[in-house]
Chains A and B, each alone.
Chain A
Amino acid sequence: MRILLLSWEYPPKRLGNVADHVSTLAHELLRRGNEVELVVLDDLKQGFEDVSGVHVHRVANPIRTHPMASILSYDVTASLQMETESSNIIYFYKRLGKRIDLVQAHEWLTAYSAIVLKHAFHIPFVMTFHSIEGHRCHDNFNTASLAIKEIEDMGIWESNTVISNTDWLKREILRYYGEGHNEKIRVIWPIGPNWVDEVISVYNRAIA
């Protein structure tokens, strides 16, 4: 299986726990015989790197100025650059007669890229939530938080499967985004020896 991972964090860029999560996931997927392309947003380090077999593509936001330090406008222009790099990878494999089987997005920050890639290339995507906007803004939704909530909602609707790290987060996703998503959300606690196997079983079902 050839998987395209989309993330806003990958070492050396660390903002939270997603960097180590994605890093572990990428290398464990590789160890189990998969090919891993990883597109990550990193304004301070750009370009291609082969990290022990994982193909890491670091891209920077094409737009540097964002008013009110707006994470929303930052995200939309950044995700466009991640899409561009992803489509370059897809065309690269197409020329070799190969394809990307699945896209995995981490957090709302990469949701737009995954949604666009799905509509343009018909590649299914799996979405992992590590947290949700309602918690991050403590239910004090300003217009930016409302927009982010809408993007999370879009990601849930458009994805093939949603992975939640804990059963508690799954219940919270259902509370914020509707009980109707119950069947779509898989809980995978990302610790221990077998969690990557569980992720692969989700991938296999998404591709089938």
Chain B
Amino acid sequence: MRVLHLSWEFPPRIIGGIASHVFDLSRALFRRGLEVNVMTCSFPGAKRFENIDGVNVDRFEAYATGDSFLGWALRMQKNMEISSCDLMSGTGGFDIIHAHDWLSGVAGVGLKHLYRKPLITTMHSTEFGRRTGIHNDFQASIHEIEGWITFESWRVITCSYYMRSHVAWCFRLPESKMCVVPNGVDVSKFSFSFD
């Protein structure tokens, strides 16, 4: 099975928790015999292409002028989508498209329709949860985009039962569409001596 992960952050570009989530998940998927590609934003000093423990990482040009974070995020995802199209042409395609949050979900929705492949989205957080409510037009727009992405996804993954109940409520999703996959911990990373 070939999987394309879309993520706006991936080490060394670490903004929140998605970078380490996608880093460890992609390597774990490879160890289970899947072919895994990650499409992520460019970052100063990071290679345009590299293979990390079996995972093929492609970095696309993330620079784009925008009128706001929203404008940039949408244009950035257009670049993500175009680069993913080129990757599809170069590699012969993927069986699953897996997006993380609204910062790659919009590109995921586009690729789902262009290639007619299942879209899986992991919702790590919601705009409602990040700001404890929807208070302005920026948030309303992002909230609507998140709802659209979860509607378009075949399955929505959350990392906890708390998030499942929140996401289901927030976007009025049927429980049958949702799965909970808790974050794993790589204990070998902690095998160092300390007091």
A residues lining the B interface (CB < 8 Å): 62-68, 70, 72-73, 76-77, 80, 83-84, 87-88, 91, 112, 115-116, 119-122, 142-144, 146-147, 150-151
**Inter-chain contact B82/A77, CB cutoff 8 Å:** no
Query: How far is it, in angstroms, between the C-alpha of A112 and the C-alpha of B77 when the chains are bound?
Result: 11
| Besides the known contacts A68-B68, A143-B65, 15 further A-B residue pairs in the complex with CB atoms under 8 A apart | A65-B140, A67-B136, A72-B71, A73-B74, A76-B106, A77-B145, A121-B114, A122-B89, A143-B68, A143-B71, A144-B67, A144-B71, A147-B66, A150-B65, A151-B75
Closest Cβ neighbor of B76 among chain A residues = A76
**Inter-chain contact B114/A87, CB cutoff 8 Å:** yes
Residues of B within 8 A of A121 (CB): 114
For window 55-91 of chain B, which residues contact chain A by CB distance below 8 Å?
A: 64-68, 70-71, 74-75, 77-78, 81-82, 85-86, 88-89
CB distance from A89 to the nearest CB of B (A): 11
Residues of B within 8 A of A87 (CB): 113-114, 116
**Inter-chain contact A119/B148, CB cutoff 8 Å:** no
Query: How far is it, in angstroms, between the C-alpha of A116 and the C-alpha of B114 when the chains are bound?
Result: 9
How many residues on chain B are close to A (CB under 8 Å)? 32
Partner of B64, one of A73, A77, A80, A147: A147
Residues of A within 8 A of B141 (CB): 63, 65-67, 73
CB distance from B16 to the nearest CB of A (A): 22
Given A116-B78, A146-B65, does the pair A67, B70 have CB atoms closer than 8 Å? yes
B154 located at the interface, meaning its Cβ lies under 8 Å from any Cβ of chain A in the complex = no
CB distance from A18 to the nearest CB of B (A): 22
**Inter-chain contact B85/A73, CB cutoff 8 Å:** no
Chain B at the A interface: SS class: helix
Query: How far is it, in angstroms, between the C-alpha of A83 and the C-alpha of B75 when the chains are bound?
Result: 15
**Inter-chain contact A80/B68, CB cutoff 8 Å:** no
Residues of B within 8 A of A119 (CB): 82, 85-86, 89
Given A72-B71, A73-B71, does the pair A150, B64 have CB atoms closer than 8 Å? yes
**Inter-chain contact B78/A147, CB cutoff 8 Å:** no
**Inter-chain contact B68/A70, CB cutoff 8 Å:** yes
Chain A at the B interface: SS class: helix
Partner of A83, one of B64, B67, B113, B136: B113
Closest Cβ neighbor of B112 among chain A residues = A84
CB distance from B48 to the nearest CB of A (A): 17
Mask for B83-116, Cβ within 8 A of A = 1, else 0? 0011011000000000000000010011001111
CB distance from A12 to the nearest CB of B (A): 26
**Inter-chain contact B85/A63, CB cutoff 8 Å:** no
Residues of A within 8 A of B195 (CB): none
Given A67-B70, A76-B74, does the pair A120, B144 have CB atoms closer than 8 Å? no
Residues of A within 8 A of B78 (CB): 76, 112, 116
**Inter-chain contact B88/A120, CB cutoff 8 Å:** yes
**Inter-chain contact B138/A67, CB cutoff 8 Å:** yes
**Inter-chain contact A77/B89, CB cutoff 8 Å:** no
**Inter-chain contact A77/B66, CB cutoff 8 Å:** no
Provide a sorted-by-A list of 8 A–B residue pairs whose CB atoms are within 8 angstroms.
Answer: A62-B148, A64-B144, A76-B74, A76-B75, A84-B113, A116-B85, A120-B115, A143-B65
**Inter-chain contact B71/A147, CB cutoff 8 Å:** yes
Residues of A within 8 A of B86 (CB): 119
Query: How far is it, in angstroms, between the C-alpha of A151 and the C-alpha of B78 when the chains are bound?
Result: 11
Closest Cβ neighbor of A64 among chain B residues = B144
